[in-house]
């Protein structure tokens, strides 16, 4: 039956007598290997289980407050804010922080980061918005002398690429620590980085306020209001009055 479904010629039988030519490498459909940085911990002088970590007294009070937000059967749900709290205290989510809070999570810094942690969004809206995120990446590379995934020699800046940060309308943008800086240009990002570096070493240095760096307040049209101009909204005119339906003429 098998021979009728898959006929084998004499030539094929003859070839079986001879070994396959060398070099020969078998085909393998092995699963894709994920990044070692995210999946595997390797002890380092700055990140190993022998370095102790305990929450400070102040943060222990915050731990109690955080745990109160979760029902008794869902206390494990507090792993995210607790890891964040540990990262804020220690500077990064070391293996000791993780051992104190949880066993594994990939969305935290597993190695030390600089005083200013830059996360540049390079997804489609930021690539298309304004001057485009590629121009911002190039400007950061030139100004800091590093590429994404690295820290400056002075330890001030760590710089990575990330997925969408949810400020698409003000693209291109970058998150620095907890702040969003939006509507960036190559010139404005360099000015911002210079100010941050000076602020780290000089008291009183003024750093641009977070938000759009083009002068607009939030995410309004940069050309001004262009729609929904008339009629002006007014609760008295836009809302139906009481008994309005009763006053409708009979059909």
Per-domain residue ranges for the chain?
Answer: 44-111, 116-212
Cis peptide bond prior to 172, omega within 30° of 0: yes
What pLDDT tens digit does each residue of the chain (251 aa) get? 444 544 555 554 554 555 555 554 544 455 554 444 455 788 999 999 999 999 999 999 999 999 999 888 788 888 889 999 999 999 998 989 988 886 555 567 878 899 999 999 999 999 999 999 999 999 999 999 999 999 999 999 999 999 899 999 999 999 999 999 999 999 999 999 999 999 998 888 899 999 999 888 888 776 777 777 776 666 665 565 666 555 555 55
- Selection from 190, 169, 191, 188 nearest residue 121 by Cα: 169
**pLDDT score of 250:** 57
Task: Give the chain as a DSSP string.
Answer: -HHHHS---HHHHHHTTSPPPSS------PPPPPPHHHH----BTTBSTTS-----HHHHHHHHHHHTTS-GGGGGGGHHHHHHHHHHHHSS--HHHHHHH-S--SSS--S---SEEEEEE-SHHHHHSTT-HHHHHHHHHHHHS--TTEE-TTSSEEEEEES--S-GGG-S-EEETTEEEES--HHHHHHHHHHHHHHHHSTT---PPSEESSS-SSSS-TT---SS-SSPP-HHHHSPPTTTGGGSPP-
pLDDT of residue 239: 60
With beta carbons less than 8 A apart as the criterion, state whether 208 and 192 touch: yes
Give the global pTM: 0.61
The count of other CB atoms within 10 Å of the CB of residue 97 is 26
Q: Which residue has the tokens 């641009």?
A: 208
pLDDT for res 249: 57
- CATH superfamily to which 116-212 belongs: Glutaredoxin (3.40.30.10)
> Please, is 170 exposed, middle or buried when counting C-beta atoms within 10 Å of its C-beta (0-12, 13-18, 19+)?
buried
In this structure, which long-range contacts are made by residues 25-30, counting pairs with CB atoms below 8 Å and at least 24 apart in sequence?
Answer: none
């Amino acid at each position: 039956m098998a021979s009728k479904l898959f006929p084998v010629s004499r030539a094929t039988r003859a070839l079986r007598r001879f070994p396959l030519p060398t070099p020969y490498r078998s085909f393998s459909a092995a699963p894709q290997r994920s990044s070692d940085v995210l999946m595997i911990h390797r002890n380092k002088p700055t990140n190993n289980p022998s370095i102790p970590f305990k929450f400070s007294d102040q943060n222990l009070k915050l731990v109690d407050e955080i745990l109160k937000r979760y029902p008794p059967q869902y206390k494990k749900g507090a792993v995210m804010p607790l890891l964040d709290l540990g990262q804020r205290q220690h500077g990064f989510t070391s293996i000791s922080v993780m051992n104190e809070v949880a066993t594994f999570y990939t969305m935290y810094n597993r190695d030390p980061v600089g005083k200013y942690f830059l996360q540049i969004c390079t997804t489609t809206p930021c690539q298309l918005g304004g001057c485009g995120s590629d121009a911002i990446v190039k400007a950061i590379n030139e100004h800091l002398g590093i590429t994404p995934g690295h820290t400056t020699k002075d330890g001030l800046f760590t710089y990575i690429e990330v997925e969408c940060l949810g400020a698409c309308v003000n693209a291109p943008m970058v998150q620095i620590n907890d702040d969003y800086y939006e509507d960036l240009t190559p010139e404005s990002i360099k000015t911002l980085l210079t100010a941050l570096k000076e602020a780290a070493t000089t008291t009183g240095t003024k750093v641009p306020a977070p938000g759009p760096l083009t002068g607009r307040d939030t995410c309004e049209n940069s050309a001004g209001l262009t729609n929904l101009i008339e009629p002006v909204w007014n609760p008295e005119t836009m809302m139906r009055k009481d008994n309005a339906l009763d006053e409708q003429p009979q059909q």
